[in-house]
Homo-oligomer: A and B are copies of this chain.
């Protein structure tokens, strides 16, 4: 009956539960039970099965398990642009947090990809446990499509208003309002702002926060320029600002651009922080590097990742629960540039 197998042994067949069963002298069901918590199986037999499995190098095939049971334990992380330092750090923490709860993250980098939509379509062929969006400029249509497939979506960094999408978002306005207040208290009056690209809710919310603090002091920003969240664009935007106006305070939509601005200020011989205060947003790891030492608004990454995982677990436990928005508090980190 096993003729065919003997005649044409498959290239490199995976060790299967059947093989272990034969080696241990039990039924295949018993093998399955030996690896399932809380299943009825004689202890002695279970041990025998595990020994045989170890010897043969057997591992239950996750594809088959996922096909049969409910969960695949795969989670897709869609990240808008992995060349962005903050996004990268968030992804790093997310990967760690997911690994820790035995969920396996599949990464899709929108920044390095021409046909994002197509890639998403391919990945959605896997019955994902969840999809995590990490991106300020995600096409909401994709998110909607996922909810149609009944896979949980968690949006990070941007609140998507949809009954089935959970969100994690930091209090952007509050953060930059506090930053502006800090500089106001220090006596600064001529504010500049380096914004992110249009359409990023985080950037505009942060700008609003600053405006609110300035308005309360009867002020308005002297000049505003926009970058694309990169260091280089921050450098360029700062140069344009310095050309246009004489500032003593400069707030930036994120740390990377603040670091660029810091470089531009130094190149121009402006003394930071004596003549100019620069404050970033996010508190990426480079902000604390010697030689940068940036004063910034901390957007606590660990808490961020933990919250995402927490929301994910809750959603998996109860798929029908109402959607949730977790707001993360920021706090000022006073270093050397304010």
Contacts and interface: CB of A to CB of B under 8 A. Distances in A.
Interface of A: 11-12, 14, 57, 59-67, 72, 74, 82-83, 88, 92-93, 95-97, 99-100, 102, 104-109, 111-113, 119, 121-127, 145, 148-150, 231, 235, 259-260, 262-264, 266-267, 285-286, 289-292, 319
A59 B291 CA distance: 52
A127 to B, nearest CB: 6
A113 B97 CA distance: 9
A66 to B, nearest CB: 5
Contacts of A231: 289-290
Given A127-B61, A260-B289, A106 B108 contact: no
Contacts of A63: 63, 66-67, 72, 126-127
Given A96-B113, A107-B95, A113-B96, A62 B260 contact: no
A260 B60 contact: no
Contacts of A99: 107-109, 112-113, 119
Give the number of times this chain occurs in the complex, counting copies: 2
Which 7 pairs, one residue from A and one from B, show the smallest C-beta to C-beta distance? Answer: A96-B112, A263-B290, A263-B291, A62-B125, A12-B150, A82-B92, A62-B126
A63 B68 CA distance: 10
A255 to B, nearest CB: 12
A131 B279 CA distance: 42
A153 to B, nearest CB: 14
Given A11-B319, A112-B99, A104 B106 contact: yes
**Best-surrounded residue of A93, A97, A106, A289 (most CB of chain B within 10 A):** A289
Contacts of A123: 104
A124 B60 CA distance: 9
Given A57-B149, A82-B92, 9 more contacts: A11-B319, A57-B148, A61-B127, A82-B95, A83-B285, A105-B107, A262-B291, A263-B291, A286-B286
A113 B96 CA distance: 6
A107 B111 CA distance: 18
A294 to B, nearest CB: 11
A19 to B, nearest CB: 14
A148 B319 CA distance: 39
Contact of A289 (B12, B104, B259): B259
Contact of A112 (B95, B106, B319): B95
A120 to B, nearest CB: 10
A327 to B, nearest CB: 25
A255 B186 CA distance: 36
A57 B66 CA distance: 21
Contacts of A67: 61, 63-64, 67
A154 B16 CA distance: 25
Contacts of A263: 289-291
A108 B12 CA distance: 25
